[in-house]
Amino acid sequence: MTGASVTLVVLSFNGRDLLAATLPSVLSQGVEVLVVDNGSADGTGTYLREEWPGVRVLELLENVGVAAALNRGLAATTTEFVALLNNDVELAPGWLEPLLTTLRAHPEAAAASGKLLRYDDRERLDAAGDVLLRSSAAINRGAGELDRGQYDRAEAVFGVCAGAALYRRAAFDVVGLFDEAYFAYLEDVDWAMRAQLAGLGARYEPAAVAFHMGGATTRRHKGFYVRLQRRNQLLLVAKTFPAGTLARHGWRIALTLALSLVASARDGGLRDHLGGWGEAARMLPAALQRRRAVQRDRRVPVREVERLMAAGVPPGLSRPLRLLFEHAPDAARRRAGVL
């Protein structure tokens, strides 16, 4: 890849078996590969040194969380661009080149991601960029939909999923690193929101195709991840939503939180949900301290950020479905017949 200054950073936790399946596609991109072994207990480090001598390995002594491990990977690289990947993502041939072209063509963009399809159902989307709504609902755009070409246009998006995306290193000097208080989940949405507030956008490039296995770790520790998701949603709002947005759309946030609580009660996750809210309450003072810096460094009008968030609602929905989408996206998409 002539002229490319890129490192592919793969984050792995107890994923030796996944790496065996995904590393060939990662190495085929033709750039340096760094695997961050996040405190694995399955012999990942030894396996990589013995079986994949062309891969650089950063072994962490314990699981420090997704956000912190990503930051360690960034600190261990010096290239102009850094691709961040989960260990359960297979890259199609030539995945990297369209993302590099996109970021070079759009200097205002901090990051770019491609079309992420499901590994076991390659006609179904996993993500076509990230969406953060005014209600605080964060979703993968297009997740679960059949790929009918509806996301075949390159365009600006609110953010990208750090599980398969290319970042411009200089953007971290402006935005900062991933917030390690999140541990896992929404740390990339938090970063995307901070980038938007700082005037740095994100791009979606459908020519960069990858396949996501996904879900295995979450299923094994479902309660833990429910707590993280519910906790981090509150931290995201408290830290990054401008005061004007809270004033105008606080009712949307309150409704979304109420509906999520009802859904957790229905699905047997009420204790974990409330536990996550309790953790958020204890972490709130520190989040509010970080909020001051985020809001102080904002470079774009609040209304512009809200416009970007509102653009995450798909066009063509009826008014009732648009309202439902803001507060319960999956329910709206099921009613619209896209899932």
Q: What pLDDT does 334 receive?
A: 87
pLDDT < 70 stretches in the chain: 1-4, 215-221, 339
Answer whether 187's CB lies under 8 Å from 95's CB: no
Question: Which CATH number is associated with domain 6-219?
Answer: 3.90.550.10
Integer CA distances (angstroms), 135 to 248, 256, 267, in order: 10, 6, 22
Which helix (DSSP H) or strand (DSSP E) does residue 202 occupy? strand 201-212
Q: What pLDDT does 3 receive?
A: 53
Q: What pLDDT does 336 receive?
A: 77
**Rounded CA gap, 65 and 165, in Å?**
19
Angle at which helix 329-336 crosses helix 319-327, to 10 degrees, equals 140
Q: What pLDDT does 221 receive?
A: 64
Q: What pLDDT does 1 receive?
A: 53
Answer whether 34's CB lies under 8 Å from 9's CB: yes
**Rounded CA gap, 277 and 283, in Å?**
10
Q: What pLDDT does 215 receive?
A: 62
Nearest CA to 207 out of 94, 107, 117 is that of 94
> Domain boundaries in the chain?
6-219, 222-329
